[in-house]
Amino acid sequence: MLNAPIEVQTFLANVPLFRGLAGDEIDRIAQNTQQVRAEKGEILFHRGDPAMGFYIVVFGQIKLAFNSPRGDEKVVDLNGPGRSFGEAVMFMERPHVVTAQAISDSLLLFVGREAVFEELERDPKFVRRMIAGLSARLHGLMRDLENDSLRSGTQRVIGYLLRDSEDVGEAEGALEVTLSANKGVIASRLSLTQETFSRILHDLAERNLIEVRGRAISISDVAKLRAFLD
């Protein structure tokens, strides 16, 4: 799958940032877009590297993280298919502040910043879409900061498990969740140790709120788990 070719213009046209652009606009951006294949464990860029553009994940999973002076890793974000990253520092023309690493075999599109800057000058609607995208990312970071600061570890874990539960009815419903990375990475993303994360999952399973089978987690009653969160 890692070597499977894709139609760059078609994929870009369905990315929220570029949706609605005319065909010639998509073509111009595609001309300055490269396909990047990254095997599991491969580094896309290190903290301090210059930001010459931004990335969009076609498939796979990319971890954004930095290390403390003691060498401890803090996972800032996990990016799956359709997600983009690196836009903010690209606009600031500053070096990357995190390291990006593939945690599974991945295919990405790298969009050069010059192509983006040219379209920003041509199309005010594109400017608004870019601002909206960056604002959504900022809102997500603020929400994560609130969760890390004000919520208990158990609340953080339940919130993570229920992040895709909007389509499940409030009164009843089951949900199958597959962890997008190993428990250590997820724990770091939630500002927990791996031992604490595993202990919380075990405690929720003991309460018959979830069932854990490796990375697969079954929630038989979403409303019941949501009530426990509240």
pLDDT in tens, the chain (230 residues): 455 557 899 899 888 778 777 888 889 899 999 999 999 999 999 999 999 999 999 999 999 999 877 878 899 999 999 889 998 888 888 899 999 999 999 999 999 999 888 888 888 888 887 788 778 777 777 777 777 777 899 999 998 898 766 554 444 578 899 998 899 999 998 989 999 999 999 999 999 999 999 889 999 889 899 888 77
| CATH number for position 164 | 1.10.10.10
Residue 1 lies in a domain: no
3 domain-assigned? no
CB-side exposure of 227: number of CA atoms within 13 Å? 8
Indicate if 128 and 72 belong to the same structural domain. yes
- Return phi, psi of residue 158, to 5°: -65, -40
Q: What is the spatial distance between Cα 98 and Cα 51, in angstroms, rounded to a whole number? A: 11
The two tokens of residue 94 are: 């500053």
Instruction: Let me know whether 51 and 165 are in one domain.
Output: no
Same domain, yes or no: 40 and 145: yes
Of 150, 171, 200, the residue that ends a domain is: 150
d(CA 230, CA 227): 5
Which residues make Cβ contacts (< 8 Å) with residue 25, sequence separation at least 6? 18, 119, 122, 123, 126
- The answer for residues whose C-beta is within 8 angstroms of residue 153's C-beta and 6 or more apart is 190, 192, 196, 197, 200
Contact predicate 229/200, CB 8 Å = no
Element (H, E) at 42: none
Identify whether residues 104 and 14 lie together within a single domain.
Answer: yes
Owning domain of residue 22: 8-150
In the listed set 150, 176, 194, which residue is the last one of a domain according to the structure? Answer: 150
Does any domain span residue 207? yes
CATH code of the domain containing 34: 2.60.120.10
Q: What is the pTM of this model?
A: 0.79
Cα–Cα nearest to 204, from 146, 153, 150, 147:
153
Domain count, the chain: 2
Last residue of a domain, one of 123, 150, 177: 150
DSSP secondary structure of 159-216: HHHTTT-TTS-SSS--EEEE-SS-HHHHHHHTT--HHHHHHHHHHHHHTTS-EEETTE
